[in-house]
């Protein structure tokens, strides 16, 4: 059987693997080995298998790649389908993210998924969802394996229960800050923070009985990016969720961790009020408002909220990056300072 090598870490893998399971780097053929015999001419009567496989959207009850018993579909988006699955050898429950058939044949989409794996495999923090493995089946299904996190999306929690109370809300925000600081320390910017990308996992040791976990680094971007990565996100091409993007991201400018600070400020405002801090009849109008206007005061919507919270969020959502918190840890400290009882100082003492 032919083998291929990861040029980054040096590990070898058997065919048909195309990406390194450790860091997501494309594999190369070992010197002296012939390429796999998968390019033989087929008889005229046989139609070639398409690389974009329609099975990606209906994998329930299938054994994926001979390794994962796929269960129910957990959700789907523009780029992927997400399934609950069980690893056959260990019995471990995992979530599998499968690139959609529409995009699996697109080189830039595959590269973006490969980057997601390469970046998220480096993350190791209780408030960040890491990637365990990147794989590809013989018929071209490309997938990511992640730990399965039971719980509710923050977006679903907001829909079901309305604006969130100050105590659990502050606790979750501080946890998100710590998880994002870990990513920023590795030069990784999330750049798509929104309630749909935050999972609340049951945890008796956390405020409100749940731990906040930042998910989906699919649009994550290394600040020190390589030229081939830069081509995927050329200046002027806006990636992210319009309602939560920073002004510099809307403009297609270079971004850093302070862009995540801005997005988390908007997320926090929505958590506590059920509203966005900028008004507009469409996402485009709200984007324009962020480029020209000032964020609404959170106490104009909920006067009972602490003044220090109002000050912290106003700073986080400043128009200019230099006027925001310089780090997620600084933002976390400002959020903790809004709690007068001292409970948060004990829970999050560093």
Classify domain 152-347 by CATH architecture. Orthogonal Bundle (1.10)
Closest CA to 148 of 213, 67, 65: 213
Distance of CA 31 to the CA centre of its chain: 37
The catalytically annotated residue of 65, 185, 192, 203 is: 192
H or E segment and range at residue 86: strand 80-87
Distance of CA 326 to the CA centre of its chain: 22
pLDDT of residue 298: 95
**103: which 2 tokens?**
């995009």
pLDDT of residue 225: 40
pLDDT of residue 235: 32
Instruction: Report helix, strand or coil for 213.
Output: strand
Cβ atoms 180, 190 nearer than 8 A? yes
Maximum mean pLDDT: which of 34-48, 78-92, 236-250, 276-290: 78-92
Say what percent of the chain tops pLDDT 70. 74
Buried (b) or exposed (e) across 4-34, using 16+ Cβ within 10 A?
A: bbbeeeeeebebbbbbbbbbbbebeeeeeee
**315: which 2 tokens?**
């700073």
CA dist 261 and 238 (Å) reads: 18
Residue 343: is its pLDDT beyond 60?
A: no
For residue range 157-174, list pLDDT tens digits in order.
999 999 999 999 999 999
pLDDT of residue 331: 98
CA dist 157 and 152 (Å) reads: 6
Cβ atoms 113, 123 nearer than 8 A? no
H or E segment and range at residue 98: strand 93-99
Catalytic residue check, 192: yes
Whose tokens are 């959020």? That residue is: 335
Q: How does residue 125 score in pLDDT terms, banded at 50, 70 and 90?
A: very high
Domain boundaries, the chain: 3-29+55-147, 152-347
For residue range 265-309, list pLDDT tens digits in order.
999 999 999 998 987 777 778 778 888 877 889 999 999 999 999
Mean of pLDDT values over 109-127 = 81
pLDDT of residue 345: 42
Residue 338: is its pLDDT beyond 70?
A: yes
pLDDT of residue 188: 87
Helices (H), the chain: 101-104, 107-120, 154-161, 166-185, 227-230, 247-250, 257-273, 283-292, 307-316, 328-336, 343-347
Query: Cα dist. 213→130, 145, 199, 223, 274 in Å?
Result: 10, 16, 5, 22, 20
Q: Pick the residue with more confidence: 26 or 281?
A: 281
Instruction: Report helix, strand or coil for 201.
Output: strand
Domain 3-29+55-147 has CATH 3.30.200.20: yes
pLDDT of residue 211: 96
pLDDT of residue 312: 97
Mean of pLDDT values over 20-47 = 52
């Amino acid at each position: 059987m032919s083998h291929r090598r990861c040029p980054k870490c040096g590990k070898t893998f058997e065919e048909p693997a195309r990406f390194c399971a450790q860091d997501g780097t494309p594999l190369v053929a070992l010197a002296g080995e012939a390429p796999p015999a998968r390019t033989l001419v087929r008889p005229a009567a046989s139609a070639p298998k398409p690389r974009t496989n329609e099975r990606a959207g209906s994998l329930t009850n299938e054994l994926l790649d001979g390794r994962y018993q796929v269960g129910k579909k957990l959700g789907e988006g523009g780029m992927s389908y997400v399934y609950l699955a069980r690893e056959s050898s260990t019995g471990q429950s995992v979530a599998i993210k499968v690139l959609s058939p529409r995009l699996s044949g697109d080189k830039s989409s595959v590269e973006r998924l490969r980057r997601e794996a390469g970046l998220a495999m480096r993350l190791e923090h209780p408030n960040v969802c890491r990637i365990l493995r990147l794989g590809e089946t013989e018929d071209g299904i490309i997938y990511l394996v992640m730990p399965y996190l039971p719980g509710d999306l923050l977006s679903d929690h907001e829909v079901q229960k309305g604006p969130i109370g100050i105590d659990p809300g502050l606790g979750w925000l501080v946890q998100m800050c710590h998880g994002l600081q870990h990513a920023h320390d590795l030069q990784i910017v999330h750049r798509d923070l929104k309630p749909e990308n935050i999972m609340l996992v049951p945890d008796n040791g956390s405020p409100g009985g749940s731990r906040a976990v930042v998910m989906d680094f699919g649009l994550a971007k290394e600040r020190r990016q390589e030229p081939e990565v830069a081509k995927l996100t050329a200046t002027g091409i806006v990636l992210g969720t319009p309602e939560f993007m920073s002004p510099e991201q809307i403009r297609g400018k270079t971004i850093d961790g302070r862009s995540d600070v801005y997005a988390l400020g908007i997320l926090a405002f929505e958590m506590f009020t059920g509203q966005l801090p900028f008004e507009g009849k469409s996402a485009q109008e709200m984007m324009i408002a962020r480029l020209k206007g000032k964020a609404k005061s959170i106490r104009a919507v909920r006067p009972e909220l602490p003044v220090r919270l109002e000050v912290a969020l106003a700073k986080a959502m400043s128009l200019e990056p230099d006027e925001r918190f310089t780090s997620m840890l600084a933002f976390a400290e400002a959020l903790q300072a809004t709690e007068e009882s001292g409970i948060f100082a004990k829970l999050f003492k560093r």
